[in-house]
Structure 1
Amino acid sequence: MRKSNWGKILGLIFGSMMFNIPGAIIGFIIGYYFDKGYAQALSDSGGFSSLMRRKVSLKNRAIFFHSLFSIMGHIAKSSGRVTENDIALASVLMDRMGLNGELRKEAQTAYREGKQAHFPVEETVIEFKNYCYARRDFMLIYLEIQIQAALANGQLHPKARDILYSIGAILGFNKLTIDGIIKQNEASTHYHQKGRQKTAQPTGMSLNYAYQILGIKESDDAKTIKKAYKKLMAQHHPDKLSAQGLPEQALKLAKEKAQDIQAAYEAIKQHKGIK
């Protein structure tokens, strides 16, 4: 890192202005130690550019989680009232994402804000869209997390579906696409619920769930199946999503979804003998 001399220069100027030559010398010495401390502080933090990146990262993280959990709270409230079960499910999602300390408090505060009667849904979603520069895969993960939360108790309330349609429209997804994402996540939710109900680890994914997760039909050929699989895996690639600004906590859910996609593809491959 290039050494800073601003402290010595300013110390020299102000010292000479106040006390002529002796003051200039004293000012230069004070400035020297200021520069030394300033340089050390920047070195310890990774430099000025590192400090700026950290501020931007914290701001982006705050926007993402505020939008995510406030909309989640709004969806939970849409059925009439937020139940203890809804709050418990939101807490489980925070656990899955590894949210602790201040970050968890931020998420909980946002969730409560979303339950308010006049919560600005459209403005909140637009702010999120601007934050992620309308990157489709990034917005898709956001929608998937919202749908996972709405489906956590196994059912999707009609009013919750309407809100998801509205959010999707703002982000550029039509109802057909939203319905497809809902079906995929319904299959994943049921698959994991059945797995938790068994004392032993399930031997594999059922073909019915597998086809729903990949968004394909049993009659589709190997080429179509491979294409669907590769597209979904590309959409959930952690390195790409991380580069686009998805917080590491949310990446955990993207990785879980990628594992489901992989399990679905393996089940279909084995059944159809795809190489």
Structure 2
Amino acid sequence: MPDYIASAIRKGDIKSVLRWINANQSEVRANAISSAEWMSAPALTLASLGSYLELMTLLLQLGANVNARNSVGLTAIRRLFTPSELAKGGVSDRIRLLLSWGASFFPGDDHSREVCICEARKFGRPELANLLDSELGGRRCEIFNLSLQPELNGKTCVADEYLPDSNQYKVTLETKSKEVLVLSPGNLRRRDRTPQDCGYYVEFKNGRTIRHDFDSSEDCQAFVAALNRDETQPVVTEEAEARAEQAAAELLAELGLDDSQSKVSTGSNHVQRSKKKKGGKKKKRK
């Protein structure tokens, strides 16, 4: 991605980021990575480090890979289990968001669940250590085989806290009422969020974010499907390319930057564009 977009993400400039992502729908720009100077960090990682929860959600809804890694192999969630990030307010919300979207831990070296638990305890976040210490802590789940309240079977929830004394989870239903229940692990199975099944939906409209909650996951899926049907996926013609270039130029003007040599990097694809600078009159030396 161009450096000015990386800067926009780190500033939480949702409007500029979404404008750039939507300027060329032939690429999955939600998975763009920054330049080497920014440690080739995925867009999601940059938003996470900036503590922009809503921008993180928007990127995930647009298909950002929750397990994408930077140049040293750290995923967005692993990057949060570092001393500087664990000291920040709101880190728990960011970690829980990534967990609900299926963030993984990888065995060996410095990327395992055990390492993250150790870091959380070491740097004063025991509640996060306890969350990771349980199988379903922080995960989005589906309720099943609940004989006492069969009407809840098929409903989705988030496992907010593990209760070791009773071997149960305190969960919050994904409904408008957000009812809190205590359920056994035997009645819960993981159902990670996906762009088509996200549980709730964050929309950016008229310069602000709007969160849509639903009474069922089916209602949310229908809402997302309706939005997707309204979207057009045009063939990238010369006219479309010109519009994309114009949008980029307007964005640069707003940010007060000169993108004389911008790079777009999405996974293994790299697109490099060069723009000629307008020549100005040279001042005569006296």
Question: TM-score with structure 1 length normalisation?
Answer: 0.29
RCO higher in structure (CA 8 A, sep ≥6): 2
Considering fraction of residues, name the structure with more strand.
2
Q: Which has the larger radius of gyration?
A: 1
Considering fraction of residues, name the structure with more helix.
1
